[in-house]
Amino acid sequence: MKTNYLPPTYFENFVSYDNENYFKDLIDIEWRGQIKSSTSNRKFKIKYFGNILEEYNYIVGTDFAPSLVFAVDIETGEEILLFDGCKHGYNAMLCDTFTYNQITNRPLTKRFVDNFGSDIFEVIIKIYFNIDYDEELADFQNENGDVELVSGEIVSADTLVRNGFDFIEIKLINENGQETVIVEEELA
């Protein structure tokens, strides 16, 4: 592994670190991984709920709800959650509340196509862990050491630290090596 951080729990079985080109210039608060499917495929189509911020071609939330982004293995159809703005990141876990309708009524009907006309990609995730949980946890932990999220879900302190990151970037690399960032969000 090329970082001091463990991946968010939902990526645990879906990351690879073996392409050296993808792991240059890591900073000290960063985790980075390449997404792979359970069959080790690294080529995906992207489906999402959200809007496209035209100026940057980013997937962003709508007035109704935060974005939801999945990678779909082009060989098996396996779907891998890349980002859920209702569940992932510091604010979604500890500050922002969402209605049942906002969480469950985000249809994944849109497919991402880059500015080069490609719709098959390798996926690189970059996450920053710039929150001092040594101080923060004392405010949130119960007597068992677990944390109750604003959603009411109880998680371990480790899960909060791993999924309560403060920044995410999702970068796609098409078959010609052209890169497109589709998600770049501050989450705290």
The residue extents of the domains of the chain are: 9-183
54-88 burial code (b ≥16 CB/10 A, e <16): eeeebbbbeeebbbbbbbbbbeeebebebbbbbbb
pLDDT of 2 reads: 64
**DSSP 8-state symbol, 188:** -
pLDDT of 137 reads: 86
pLDDT of 136 reads: 81
pLDDT block averages, 10 residues each, the chain of length 188:
84 94 91 97 98 94 98 98 97 96 98 97 97 86 92 95 97 98 97
